Amino acid sequence: MRQIAIIGSGPAGYYTAEAAQKQWGDDVHVDIFDCLPVPYGLIRFGVAPDHQSIKGVSRRYEATALADNVRFVGNVLVGRDVTIGELEELYDAVILATGAPHDRKAGLPGEDLANIFGSAAFVGWYNGHPNFAELEPDLGGGTAVVIGNGNVALDVVRILAKTRDEFHGSDIVSHAIDALDGSSIRKIVVLGRRGPHQIAMTPKELGELGHLTRATPRVDPADLPAESEDSTLEPGQRKSVTHLRQFAAIAEADRSAKPVEIEFDFFAAPKALIGNGAVEAVEVERTRLENDKAVGTGETYVVPASLVVVCIGYQTSPIPDVPFDDRAGRFANEEGRIRPGLYCVGWARRGPTGTIGTNRPDGFAIVEKVAADIGEGSGKPGAAGFDRLAEARKLAVVEFHDWQRIDEAEVRRAREGSPREKFVAIQDMIAAAGKG
């Protein structure tokens, strides 16, 4: 019997568990650890609350979670409650699937002014992550600046722009929908350091900005390359650029019908965040492209900003005693192998790129490597050994059936039109699990 520990219960974790089941059938036991009492990581805390169909993938993970030889070991923080070294002693393979939950810093002067948030914090706030539930962004000013031209920037822009009614059917948490309902933001500036052809936004998500109740996107036609150049783009990117062209063509009369404007500012690299206590403006340098890279032109200007959300990508959280690649922001690894018996998968292996589905082949690939390395397993104690350790340390482990009680309680307390009202405090989750 092989004993496998997977650290992290997001997409990479569950796809890896699914791959382990396919690889070894009943000849494996998988423990999936999570520092929170609730599973699914990015699906619960990263995917936008108004993208419920994407969140539906968790039903597939549930099928894996309910198998007899797979166990959810929630509310256990690796590095605090148990060390990596202890897990390596207990299990034939330890696979880090911890994702990339931390913001990459932009390294800008003034980044520590109030009302500037990284996307992990801001997204965590509206998705009810316990670490960010108390964020209290001030939405009382007039202009928000969102830095970055990726899908996370798009999520943040859309959430800032939507009306209460447009959140019908979403699981946005009450503290966020109430705050957004009272928002005074009337202009959202999206800063991209490169141009329309270089955006990292996918067409479906970008297209949504064209259908908002109270907001209209604005693109300066002068920023768009000649239409003939779109033929050089791959089809998805071409569709995204077509959306930008449609936004550039919106007539002023149609624009004025809606009170909120989403302005795309391309070739615009942030240089500094300016303010006195709280942020008031962003200093921006105009750029041009050289070999596809943004190069400053020396021309600068100032964009007023009462709120700034920096959406420039994520990094993995280091774990004591695990080699880390600081520059890449993920564990140092060779195609998923960190050292004998220790592996990484998903964003923790390759950095924060690709779709949720990209993690499935990643999970299957790492299990193939583990299979080649560990053979039949070496009789390690695995789950039973961890249980002894958990008992000795009095850890309040939350298992999958406990999570199902939390889940039911969240569904029961949902406001009208919402699938659930998430608990945002760990102690409330544990109480709902009946473990308080």
Residue ranges that bind ligand NAP, judged by CB under 6 A: 106, 147-153, 155, 193-194, 198, 200, 202, 205, 269-270, 294, 311-314, 352-355
Nearest residue by C-beta to ligand NAP?
150
Residue 383: beta bridge partners?
Answer: none
Least distance (Å) between residue 320 CB and ligand NAP: 26
Least distance (Å) between residue 9 CB and ligand NAP: 18
Helices (H), 77-193: 84-90, 119-126, 151-161, 174-181
32 three-class SS? strand
Output the DSSP codes for 5-21. EEE--SHHHHHHHHHHH
**DSSP label at residue 150:** B
Nearer to ligand NAP, 153 or 179 (CB): 153
In 10 A of CB 81, how many CB atoms? 18
Residues near 280 by beta carbon (within 8 Å), at least 6 away in sequence: 274, 304, 305, 306
Nearer to ligand NAP, 17 or 156 (CB): 156
CA–CA dist 357, 218 (Å, integer): 32
Least distance (Å) between residue 199 CB and ligand NAP: 6
Rounded alpha-carbon distances, angstroms, from residue 17 to 11, 80, 91, 349: 10, 23, 14, 16
Least distance (Å) between residue 288 CB and ligand NAP: 13
Nearer to ligand NAP, 19 or 147 (CB): 147
Least distance (Å) between residue 414 CB and ligand NAP: 23
Q: Are the CB atoms for 360 and 15 separated by under 8 Å? A: yes
Least distance (Å) between residue 329 CB and ligand NAP: 11
Least distance (Å) between residue 352 CB and ligand NAP: 5
Residues near 277 by beta carbon (within 8 Å), at least 6 away in sequence: 113, 114
Residues near 5 by beta carbon (within 8 Å), at least 6 away in sequence: 30, 31, 33, 87, 90, 91, 93, 94, 95, 382, 386
Nearer to ligand NAP, 174 or 202 (CB): 202
CA–CA dist 176, 322 (Å, integer): 36
Nearer to ligand NAP, 39 or 196 (CB): 196
Nearer to ligand NAP, 29 or 197 (CB): 197
Nearer to ligand NAP, 115 or 151 (CB): 151
Nearer to ligand NAP, 41 or 150 (CB): 150
Residues near 64 by beta carbon (within 8 Å), at least 6 away in sequence: 14, 17, 18, 21, 70
Pull the structure tokens for residue 321.
Answer: 């005693």
Least distance (Å) between residue 18 CB and ligand NAP: 21
